[in-house]
Structure 1
Amino acid sequence: MHFIKLTSLILMLFTLQSCKCQQKTSNLNDESTQTGGDYIVEYTALSRGIYNQIIINKKTISSLQQRGGTPSLHPCEEKNWNTITKMLGPIEVENISTLEAPSKAFQYDGAAIAHLKITKGDKTYESAPFDHGNPPKEIAELVKVILSISENIE
C-alpha cells in the first residue's frame, strides 16, 4: 500500500518537473518570436582542462568558463550584434553541419573540441566538431568575432 502511494508521488513529481521544463522552453521560444526571430549564436569549446561556452543574442552575451559554474551576463552592444548579423549573412546556416574541419586534433586530445550552434526562431543548426582555434573557413570569421566579443566584455 505504501509502495503504491510512494510510486504515485514520485510519478506526480516527475510530471510536474516535466511541465516546468516545457514551460521554460516555451518561454524561450516566445521571447525569440517577440524579438523578430533573431538569432542566438552559441560557441562551445571543451577538453579535459578547458570549458568555454559563449551565447550571444540581440540583448545579452553569456560567458561560462567552467562546467556547472554561473555564467557572466553582459548586455550585447548594438555594434557587436550588428557585426554578428553581418557575419551570419553569407553563411548558409542550414548547411553548417556539413562543413569540413581543416584539422581533427580534437580526436586525439591535441586540441579542445569546438561546436558552433546557430538558432533562428525554432530551428537550431549545429556544426560538426572542429578544433578550437581552427574552425572551417566558412565560419572562421564568425567564430573569431564571437571569441573577440567575449574576451572584450570581461
Structure 2
Amino acid sequence: MKLLSLLFLTIFLGKGCEGVSQQNIETAQLIYTANSRGFYREISIENHVASIKNDRKGKAVQTKISDTDWKEFVKLFQEVDLEEIKNLKSPTEKRFYDGAAIANLKINYAGKNYESQSFDHGFPPAEIKKIVTKINSFAKQNNEN
C-alpha cells in the first residue's frame, strides 16, 4: 500500500511541475536580433504575441501566435538550457567579414536575463537552432500576410 501511495504521489507531483513550467513561459520574454549594415530584424516573443521590427526606426508589428505554434514553441523553450546559453559557440564566423548579419538571443525568464554570444544570422549554435528557427518563422509568416 505504501508503494502504491508513493507511486501515485510521484506521478501526481511530476505532472504538477510540468504544468507549472509551461505556465511560467507566459511571463518569459525572448528577443532575437540580427543586424548588419543593410539589414535589421528584431523579434520579441511574449505571451502568445510576436512583435517584429524590420528596421531600426520603424514600429514593431505585432502578430498573435497560433495555439499550435505556441505549443511547439513552449516545447522548444523547455529544451533550452538557460544557464548554458551564454557559453554556446557559433558554428560559423561569416559575421566577421560581412558574410552574415550578427545575431543574438536574449531570454528574460523568472527574473533573470540570459544572453547568447553573437552568432551568424541563419547559422545559430546547434543547441538553440530549433528555437531560433521557430522564432524566425514568425517573422516569415508575418511577411506573407
What TM-score comes out, normalization by structure 2 length? 0.77
User: How far apart are the structure 1 equivalents of 2:74 and 2:82?
Assistant: 12
Aligned to 2:17: none
Equivalent of 2:124 in 112, 116, 135:
135
Structure 2 residue 139 is matched with structure 1 residue 150: yes
Aligned to 1:94: 83
**What runs of 5+ residues in structure 1 fail to find an aligned partner?**
1-34
Partner secondary structure for residue 80 of structure 2: coil
Question: How many Å apart are 1:77 and its aligned residue?
Answer: 2.1
Partner secondary structure for residue 127 of structure 2: helix
Q: Deviations over 1:3-34 (max 9, x none)?
A: xxxxxxxxxxxxxxxxxxxxxxxxxxxxxxxx
- Structure 1 runs (4+) deviating above 4 angstroms are none
Q: Structure 1 counterpart of 2:69, which letter?
A: N
- Please tell me whether Structure 1 or Structure 2 has the larger radius of gyration of its CA atoms: 1
The alignment-based identity, stated in percent, is 36
Size of the aligned set, in residue pairs, is 120
Equivalent of 2:115 in 126, 129, 132:
126
Structure 2 residue 66 is matched with structure 1 residue 84: no
Decide whether the 8 Å contact of 1:119 with 1:125 is kept in 2: yes
Aligned to 2:56: 67
Structure 2 residue 94 is matched with structure 1 residue 105: yes
Partner secondary structure for residue 113 of structure 2: strand
Question: How many Å apart are 1:121 and its aligned residue?
Answer: 2.6
